[in-house]
Amino acid sequence: MYLGIDIGTSGVKAVVVGEGGALVAQASAPLEVSRPQPGYCEQDPEAWWQATLRAVAELPAGARAAVRAAGLSGQMHGATLLDREDRPLRPAILWNDGRSALECRELERREPSSRSITGNLMMPGFTAPKLLWVSRHEPEVFRRTACVLLPKDYVRLRLTGEKVSDPSDASGTGWLDVGARNWSDAMLAATGLTRSHMPRLVEGTRPSGMLTARAAEQLDLPTVLVAGGAGDNAASAVGVGVIAPGQAFLSLGTSGVLFAATDRFRPHPDGAVHAFCHALPGRWHRMSVMLSAASVLDWVAQLTGEADLARLVEAARARGLTRDSPFLLPYLTGERTPHNDPRARGVYFGIRPDTSAADLAGAALEGVALGLADGLDALLEAGGSIGEITMTGGGSRLPYWGQLLAAALGRPLTYRRAGEVGAALGAARLARLALGAERVEDVCVAPEVERVVRPDPELASLLAVRRRTFVALYRSLKSLFPEDSP
């Protein structure tokens, strides 16, 4: 069997996959996020490790004993700063932290070839501008920083004692020459760093180390190989079989992602489209990213006092959408594609005396769907084709949201077995490939189709009309978001 561990923002998932590819067992452990100031988002690296121990411990003992290899996936971009003794110097600054907008502009000024090297706009979520922020605001921490790791790679360090990353996750740092799949000395120099501060790179399908005896004992696992692994989205692609040009998936997790596999490096920085390495050697992908997706629905649930998300969504479905329904700009922590605007904030518009909790929830579901439609347009502007879109992520369990998404995107959405654990499943598949005996195409097959949701013509027509107002709202309000926001 093969173990996959996904270090998410809201929790750690662990899965065991059998020789035939079927999901044998899964478990999870929650994580908390700290927001010390508006626009800031941090986590304690020790919490990732403790959650990993708890999640793996929940797997059946027999499944753990049969594991032959392990793989890792994780939330991208998180800046984990270690001293010379590999101790974290401060909480990790996460992917949805917006404090480093000024540093993004400064990095592009320092290295004018930034966009051609990385293939991307420099965004506050990326790791490099976070380090420039630390150098300015916490100079003693920066001086003591001996190594910078991404979240899954910190967990790898605890598992294997090795400092290693992979090209897919490293693509989101702002330090990688994405076309060459290697660190860029120029981008590192722009942040006052060198290769000595970076982990070594291995492809996601290659071994990165072995479990130490101590980690094997803590996890009650055999001393097995650990694969290079991947960032969460590339791992999800491997898990749902999105590995060939034109194949795509839509992930509804804390963030919302449209991911399209490509056979070559296809940058489109002007559209705030991410052009990153795939988890598989010699392959790349493009992404549009919303910073807030399922997290928006969680926020509405907290706002309305409705703890049962399924019941809240059902109320929204029963209420339905009309031309007069309220809107929500779902930019709770800023936005990436297509706006690249860390100052953007969430806005309800069109509230009336009879507006209900169901209306607020419906506006949230619709707002994410319309934001993802903006992202799809940006991807198509980048060139290439997008065919079938597979659904993955925890939000994919909500059927009404799927109906809204299909109508907003104007495309059918395919739901597959185990789609909600795509990243952890992909990590397990990468573990299997790291043993070196099988072909990518034989391991990374698409899971069985459970259902296909096709666009409802009447709903699609309504959303097309409402999208014009949604787009106009952001354009009208853009200049009003506070200048002092991160």
Domains of the chain (ranges; CATH) run 2-240 (3.30.420.40)
Cβ atoms of 78 and 127 within 8 Å: the answer is: yes
Judge contact between 197 and 147, C-beta under 8 A.
Answer: yes
Q: From CA 73, how far away is CA 152, in angstroms rounded?
A: 6
- The C-alpha atoms of residue 159 and residue 301 are separated, in whole angstroms, by 37
Residue with tokens 């959405």: 413
Give the number of C-alpha atoms closer than 13 A to the C-alpha of residue 205, restricted to the C-beta side. 17
Q: Which candidate, 414, 431, 422, places its Cα nearest to that of 18? A: 431
Helix, strand, or coil (residue 240): helix
Give the model's pLDDT for residue 485: 45
Which string of DSSP letters, residue by residue, matches 447-485?
PPEEEEEPPPHHHHHHHHHHHHHHHHHHHHHGGGS-TT-
Position 205 scores a pLDDT of 98
Cα–Cα distance between 468 and 412 in angstroms, integer?
22
177: annotated active-site residue = no
Q: Which residues contact 104 (CB under 8 A, 6 or more apart)?
A: 121, 122, 123, 124, 126, 129
Residue 233 phi/psi, 5-degree rounding, is -75, -40
Rounded to the nearest 10 degrees, the angle between the axes of helix 101-110 and helix 127-137 is 100
Is 55 within 8 Å of 48 (Cβ atoms)? no
- Tokens 């936005």 — which residue? 335
Q: Do 424 and 239 form a contact (C-beta atoms < 8 A)?
A: yes
Give the pLDDT score at 484: 52
Look up residue 39 and give its two tokens: 């626009």
Predicted confidence (pLDDT) per residue in 369-418, tens digit: 999 999 999 999 877 788 889 998 888 889 999 999 999 999 999 998 87
Q: How far is CA 284 from CA 12, 236, 263, 325, 390, in A?
A: 26, 14, 6, 40, 18
Q: Which two tokens stand for residue 463?
A: 């959303």
Predicted pLDDT at 20: 87
Dist. CA 179–CA 351, nearest whole Å: 47
Residue 418: per-residue pLDDT: 72
Length of the chain equals 486
User: Residue 435, SS3?
Assistant: coil
What is the rounded distance in angstroms from the CA atom of residue 218 to the CA atom of residue 221?
8
Q: Which residues pair with 79 in a beta bridge?
A: 93
Q: Which residues of the chain have pLDDT under 70?
A: 419, 484-486
| Set 6, 153, 166, 232: catalytic member | 232
